[in-house]
């Protein structure tokens, strides 16, 4: 069992843009395996490396067995991903986050994105994603840029979230997976 603790809001590692992965070595391969186990163990559908305390541009995504939106290997491993194109159209969807237990809200995001990334063999790919995959990719790539989903809420919604965020910040959470808080 090599599940890693999930870092909670507002640990500093989650506020900063991550650094590109330069090459794939045993350390990175182990981290990818541990991230996938951590994501599955927490019933998550995506996890960014800085959510387990590593400031690297790496994320894993698994929408589950019945998702047919992407033809590639599952779980999807995205190394140094960048969003090259956003659709003009948007949709609203409720989001949650393993670093923000007990907090969910509706976020407006573009419907579709074109994402360029490297896989575990440092092969380059682009995916034209829509639906849930586009949603999760944007959420995870936001993490890699030091952005939480609540930062995309309107000022009014953000103000309403204040107490919940304070509670998470204090480490006052109830989760089924191990967490690490930044409480001082």
Q: Which residues bind Zn ion (CB under 5 A)?
A: 97
We find the least distance from the C-beta atom of residue 100 to Zn ion, in angstroms, to be 7
Select 26 or 157, whichever has its Cβ closest to Zn ion. 157
- Is residue 69 among the annotated active site residues? no
Evaluate whether 21 touches 57 at the Cβ level (below 8 Å).
yes
| Residue nearest Zn ion, Cβ-based | 97
We find the least distance from the C-beta atom of residue 42 to Zn ion, in angstroms, to be 11
The C-alpha atoms of residue 81 and residue 59 are separated, in whole angstroms, by: 8
In sign, the C-alpha dihedral spanning 68, 69, 72, 75 is negative
We find the least distance from the C-beta atom of residue 152 to Zn ion, in angstroms, to be 12
Select 49 or 112, whichever has its Cβ closest to Zn ion. 49
Select 97 or 107, whichever has its Cβ closest to Zn ion. 97
CA distances from residue 36 to 18, 40, 78, 79 in whole angstroms, order as listed: 19, 6, 12, 14
**Considering only CA atoms, which of 62, 61, 60, 56 is closest in space to residue 145?**
56
Nearest 5°: phi and psi at 183?
-65, 140
Evaluate whether 99 touches 164 at the Cβ level (below 8 Å).
no
We find the least distance from the C-beta atom of residue 103 to Zn ion, in angstroms, to be 10
Select 97 or 153, whichever has its Cβ closest to Zn ion. 97
Catalytic residue among 120, 124, 130, 140: 140
The catalytic residues are 140
């Amino acid at each position: 069992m090599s599940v890693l603790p999930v870092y909670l809001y507002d640990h500093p590692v989650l506020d900063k843009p991550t650094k590109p992965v330069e090459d794939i070595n045993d350390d990175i391969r182990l981290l990818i395996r541990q991230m996938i186990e951590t994501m599955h163990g927490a019933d998550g559908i995506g996890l960014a490396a800085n959510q387990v305390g590593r400031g690297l541009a790496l994320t894993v995504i698994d929408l589950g067995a019945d998702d047919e939106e992407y033809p590639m290997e599952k779980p999807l491993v995205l190394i140094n991903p960048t969003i090259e194109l956003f659709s003009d159209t948007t949709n609203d969807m409720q989001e949650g986050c393993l670093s923000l237990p007990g907090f969910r809200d509706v976020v407006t995001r573009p419907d579709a994105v074109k994402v360029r990334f490297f896989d575990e063999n440092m092969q380059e790919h682009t995916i034209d994603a829509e639906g849930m995959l586009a949603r999760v990719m944007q959420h995870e790539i936001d993490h890699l840029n030091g952005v939480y989903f609540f930062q995309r809420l309107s000022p009014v919604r953000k103000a309403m979230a204040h107490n919940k965020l304070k509670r998470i910040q204090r480490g006052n959470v109830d989760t089924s997976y191990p967490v690490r808080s930044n409480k001082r």
